[in-house]
Amino acid sequence: MRTYTLTAFEKNGEKRLDETFTAETNEEAKEIGKKRLAEKQLLEHTHRCVSPEAKLILFHR
């Protein structure tokens, strides 16, 4: 398993979400990230999900 970081922000830059989770692949992590953002009603906020190699796999501005 690999560890990914998911972060979401307010327009003023304040963090609304900053958590890590594990997934087998980048595609799985992308789906998990979208699901967590939806659960917390943060899909329309600026957000990003980063792989262990610091690759951006999910982003919305």
pLDDT of residue 41: 97
pLDDT of residue 20: 98
pLDDT digits (tens, 9 = 90+) for 10-57: 999 999 999 999 999 999 999 999 999 999 999 999 999 999 999 999
Number of folded domains that form the chain: 1
Range of the domain at 22: 2-60
> In angstroms, rounded to a whole number, what is the distance separating the alpha carbons of residues 15 and 8?
6
Alpha helices in 1-61 (DSSP H): 26-39
Whole-structure pTM value = 0.92
The pair phi, psi for residue 41, each rounded to 5°, is: 55, 45
How far separated are the first and last CA of the chain, in Å rounded?
A: 28
Q: Confidence band (pLDDT; 50, 70, 90) for 59?
A: very high
